[in-house]
Structure 1
Amino acid sequence: MSPGNPDTGRPLGIGVLGAADIAWRRTIPAIQRCDRLRLVAVASRAPERAAAFAGRFGCEPVTGYERLLERDDVEAVYIPLPNALHEQWAATALRAGKHVLVEKSLNADAAGAAALARTAAAGGLAFMENFTFLHHGQHDRVRELVAEGAIGTPRAFSASFGIPPADLSLIRYDPELGGGALLETGTYTVRAAQLFLGPDAEVAGAVLRHDPRTGVDVAGSALLVDGQGVTAQCDFGFTHLYRCTYAIWGSAGRISLDWAFTPPPEARPVLRLERPGVREEHVLPAADQFLGALTAFAGACADPVKHEEHGAAAVRQAALLESIKRQAHVVPPQCQTPARPDGRRP
């Protein structure tokens, strides 16, 4: 069976390569809300995991990733495996003739990402990194305001995505599985910066905070700059109060979002616009960004122009992450500030 065209009216058969938590909570429910996709099967190396997914979502359980890729009724795959396995299984799926939607971060290797993009192009296949936040309308509204001159000439972008410490047994703390804050939370801030910096953006400097207990980076910052001198400060980590924001600051104003990356479908984000003597708050429409991403992927499967766009975006992202890792000044974990006798911290 050749790859299906969602524009013919027949939903594209999609399989899930990996019984991951993000697939259970977010992505598969969104697949089932997408009328351009049809969930066929979920594969896991553990039969009981595949059976649990099949029981909940009404699809076929498959033991082993290779067996799922052998199925003719699977025309596309979604890959939510640990980061270290993304490149390997994206390549295997593309060689099997499947369109690929791979969870971020794909990798931090520009050459590897470029090889995947070439394989996809040679096979006429879609290859897309799954940044769902890009498919929320709040970012379109920010860009519209910037294009209208609401903040004058953009000068600087800043983004923060941090989450509190968690159980050290989680995949995000495992270096063998591609853990670390850069690939887990930093990747969002770097991708968001590219909405406002030019395509020539490069890394001007970076810091990664390394935790010797786990062997991964648990926090960091990166500074990007483009050919026009617009800068982007990207802060991220696992050792923080939860924060999920970005702002674009210009010669005549500033726009900020408080819930930039992970708003649930029912949330109505607030956009703040500051100009001399004026502060405005705009409550924006709610949006289902997971459904938006899956709808965009289904459309890309039928559009060779989108094949090229998504492949190029994945390569740029991988190149920036690779540059951050290569340039980063590595520092040890911060020492906790000693408490005062009354138990409070200074």
Structure 2
Amino acid sequence: MPKDTPRPVLRIGVLGCADIAVRRILPAIVEHPSVRLVALASRDGARAERLAARFGCAAVTGYKALLDREDINAVYVPLPPGMHHEWVTEALTAGKHVLVEKPLSTTYAQSVDLVAMAGRLGLALTENFMFLHHSQHEAVRAMTGEIGELRVFTSSFGVPPPHPSSFRHDARLGGGALLDVGVYPLRAAQLHLAGELDVLGACLRVDEATGVDVAGSALLSTATGVTAQLDFGFQHAYRSVYALWGSRGRLSVPRAFTPPREHRPVVRIEQQDRLTEVTLPADHQVGNALDAFASAVHSETVRASLGEALLRQALLVEQVRKAARVVSG
């Protein structure tokens, strides 16, 4: 496609009315110039009608009925992780490009299946790690020379307990802290550390009543001995940070994963006799994530690189789970 030729607008349908969709994704789709919200589906027809009226699109009862619509060429899937493999498969089979909430699936084998399927069909498959699309992370990479040779990467993402009815407490729906919040520090470690990461050890604390992990930690290492110390859970006060500790200083990002659109990130650089705080421009990571999805739809090269990243992430998550010491608590 010539550079001056406008891209066709993506016509998006939404499978499910999850909170993340209502609060963050649907408003961003409505205002985005490259995508158009066509319809949203719920198994509860009345709920679909209410939200469709709010966001100015068609209401559909049932996910399959939405996938059968010919006026949609892409779908956003915010369903619980345990439903991702089934409905991403259905969406790809229906010829739709797919933006799916993290994690792509609950197992590495399922992720391999989905990535291979999208590749065969020439369709975009994107995991919605919105934080990756905030400009603060590129700015951080440009500042790493200030801290010398990297020695340690640390990251924590913790949130207060979800509502008791949340899918996060249901193992059958892919609940648990590793898949819900632990994937963020893992993905951030892959973003900032070169090469493949080995899992040296991990621990998962499992709630006896629900059988899902509610907190955990992992220790990773690069081939050159740079370590990553990661913590996560949803029995915590809110914390969303990462830091790079080097031979001459430490660089920290205190609002790493969920900065609001209007938030101006502050990056801290701590050196021997100096503390520097750099205030960065606000950025709209949700809108940027939609841009990235549109780019994947229109570029085979982008789709291939995304597929590789999806599988690296899924494999690392599975390795952490396999290596973890499980304790009750």
TM-score, structure 1 as length reference: 0.92
- Greater mean deviation of Cα atoms: 168-177 or 155-164: 168-177
- 5+ residue gaps, structure 2, are none
The letter for the 1-side match of 2:158 is: G
The letter for the 1-side match of 2:135 is: G
2:47 pairs with 1:52: no
Q: CA RMSD in A?
A: 1.3
> In the alignment, what sits opposite 2:122?
124
SS at match of 2:146: coil
Distance 1:87 1:284 in 2: 38
Deviations 1:60-92 (A, max 9, x none): 111111111111111011000001011211111
1:274 positional shift: 1.4
Distance 2:190 2:137 in 1: 12
Tell me, yes or no, if the aligned pair for 1:197 and 1:231 is still in contact at 8 Å: no
Q: 2:201 aligns with which of 202, 205, 225?
A: 205
Distance 1:178 1:212 in 2: 16
2:314 pairs with 1:318: yes
Distance 1:323 1:107 in 2: 15
> In the alignment, what sits opposite 2:96?
98
Distance 2:290 2:264 in 1: 21
Sequence identity percentage: 52
Tell me, yes or no, if the aligned pair for 2:261 and 2:284 is still in contact at 8 Å: yes
> In the alignment, what sits opposite 1:247?
243
Tell me, yes or no, if the aligned pair for 1:246 and 1:260 is still in contact at 8 Å: yes
1:324 positional shift: 1.1
Distance 1:163 1:135 in 2: 21
Tell me, yes or no, if the aligned pair for 2:106 and 2:174 is still in contact at 8 Å: no
Deviations 1:249-300 (A, max 9, x none): 1111111011100110001111001122121001111111111101110111
2:228 pairs with 1:222: no
Tell me, yes or no, if the aligned pair for 2:82 and 2:106 is still in contact at 8 Å: no
Q: Map 1:173-212 onto structure 2 (within 5 A).
A: 173-212=169-208
Tell me, yes or no, if the aligned pair for 2:267 and 2:277 is still in contact at 8 Å: yes
Distance 1:53 1:310 in 2: 31
2:23 pairs with 1:25: yes
Distance 2:23 2:159 in 1: 18
Classify 1:204/1:7 alpha carbon distance in 2 versus 1 (closer, same or farther; 3 Å). farther
Distance 2:304 2:97 in 1: 13
1:7 positional shift: 5.9
1:198 positional shift: 2.3
The letter for the 1-side match of 2:277 is: E
1:106 positional shift: 1.6
TM-score, structure 2 as length reference: 0.96
Q: 1:257 aligns with which of 245, 253, 258?
A: 253
Distance 2:223 2:40 in 1: 44
> In the alignment, what sits opposite 2:11?
13
> In the alignment, what sits opposite 2:156?
160
The letter for the 2-side match of 1:107 is: S
Q: Map 1:257-276 onto structure 2 (within 5 A).
A: 257-276=253-272
1:192 positional shift: 0.6
- Greater mean deviation of Cα atoms: 197-206 or 214-223: 197-206
Where does structure 1 differ by over 4 angstroms across 4 or more consecutive aligned residues?
Answer: none
> In the alignment, what sits opposite 2:137?
139
